[in-house]
Amino acid sequence: MVEEGQDAPNFSALTETFKNVQLFESSEKVLIILALMSVDTPVCETIVRHFDAEMTGTIERASRSDDVRGSAKMFVETVEIWSVSLDLPFTLGRCREAANVKNVKMLSDFRTREFSERYGVSISTGIHTGIISRAVFVIGKNMKIAYRWDPKNLSDEPKYKDVIEVTNRELNRISIGNVKA
Domain range list for the chain:
12-180
Q: Among 61-65, 68-72, 104-108, which range has the highest average pLDDT?
A: 104-108
Residue 61 has what pLDDT? 78
Q: How far apart are CA 92 and CA 10, in angstroms?
A: 22
Residue 179 has what pLDDT? 43
Position with higher pLDDT, 96 vs 180 = 96
Kindly state the percentage of the chain with pLDDT values over 70: 93
Q: How far apart are CA 107 and CA 87, in angstroms?
A: 8
Q: Which residues pair with 7 in a beta bridge?
A: 144
Sheet with 12-14: strands ordered across: 20-22, 12-14, 105-108, 79-85, 30-35, 135-139, 145-149
Position with higher pLDDT, 142 vs 11 = 11
Residue 181 has what pLDDT? 36
Tell whether the model's pLDDT for residue 152 goes beyond 80.
yes
The mean per-residue pLDDT over the stretch 31-36 comes to 97
The mean per-residue pLDDT over the stretch 14-43 comes to 94
First to last CA, the chain: 34
Look at domain 12-180 and name its CATH class.
Answer: alpha beta
Catalytic residue among 44, 76, 84, 138: 44
Catalytic (active site) residue 44 = yes
